[in-house]
Structure 1
């Protein structure tokens, strides 16, 4: 059975997904969770804190999904390609809680001003894979894996959030070919 905190975060995520951040209220989150407003306030003193917690939870869930996808592959490029396809399909609805539909301007802020907060778990996710690739000789021996992880994340975020000109991002094979041709060269 989920904890009260988990129930509240789930309710907040659902409210944000359905109505956006601006129209989501503490009262609505409490109603959806089946608790009082006071219960919500015991966990988060403000709506902003609740929203931040909902996004942190969504990011953590994405990292968990990514681990499963990445671990199924054996080379760095295969791991990157698999994760890129997950990012392309998962992030807009799940990690961004559907805000690309309800509040695209908020997504722009999340992916610019607030991106460093969302990046930390993703960077931590990629560091061991980049270290393993370095140890296996897939990338250069002097690679700064933390900086490379940030660069990789920035490439993946850009892939999802900007329209493509020469690659069909909805075609997993075309996306894979694009990444294979250009991405690992930046790490080699």
Structure 2
């Protein structure tokens, strides 16, 4: 009887497994980095602690993320995408203007109470450009990420305005949230949920049609 053949390797399957392993490793790194930035802030965050919590070596971490700033930028982008998904899920089923109000109030609450964002803004205001995507090319990325969820939701709810106008309205509202958090207004109490809702209903919702 001929000896059994060893199973042939499948390069596609091997590549898939490698990519899955790398994605899981990156998720661990970003989770560990998020926790460390929340605990210690940007200036005092320990790369060694992040690597230890992620279960990897310091050299492996630096191969994936050559600098602390690059790691922070990836953490913030990941947070921003999760935030967009959360808002899209919570406004699902509302009419367009109600969705705008809810998204604004959720955004204000989320940004003002999230420890990571408070640490980032408090430790290094220059990172505002990374956080909000106010500097190119982050502006386009931010608008795309926000719009993909919100535009689809508002379309399903009955919004009829052109896509480019809806995208612009989304950007204006994101800028409004960050501006109110970083430079509080004397005319609007950002800790007063009723006042925020009234502001959104009166001035922001009419932007959507």
Query: Normalising by structure 2, what TM-score?
Result: 0.71
Shift of 1:119: 4.1
The C-alpha deviation readout for 1:61-90, integer Å capped at 9, x for no partner, is 11121122111x511221122122221221
Query: Residues 27-46 of structure 1 correspond to what in structure 2 (within 5 A)?
Result: 27-46=48-67
Match of 1:126 in 2: 150
Tell me whether 29-38 or 19-28 shows the greater mean CA deviation: 19-28
Match of 1:105 in 2: 125
Shift of 1:36: 0.8
Structure-2 separation of matches of 1:119 and 1:95 = 21
In structure 1, list runs of 5 or more residues that go unmatched: none
Structure-1 separation of matches of 2:162 and 2:81 = 30
Match of 2:101 in 1: 81
Higher Rg of the two aligned structures: 2
- Computed over aligned residues only, the root mean square deviation of the Cα atoms, in angstroms, reads 2.8
In structure 2, list runs of 5 or more residues that go unmatched: 1-22
Tell me whether 149-158 or 171-180 shows the greater mean CA deviation: 149-158
Contact 1:26 1:47 survives alignment (8 Å) = yes
Find the residue that maps to 1:3 and give its secondary structure. Answer: helix
Contact 2:85 2:149 survives alignment (8 Å) = no
Query: Normalising by structure 1, what TM-score?
Result: 0.78
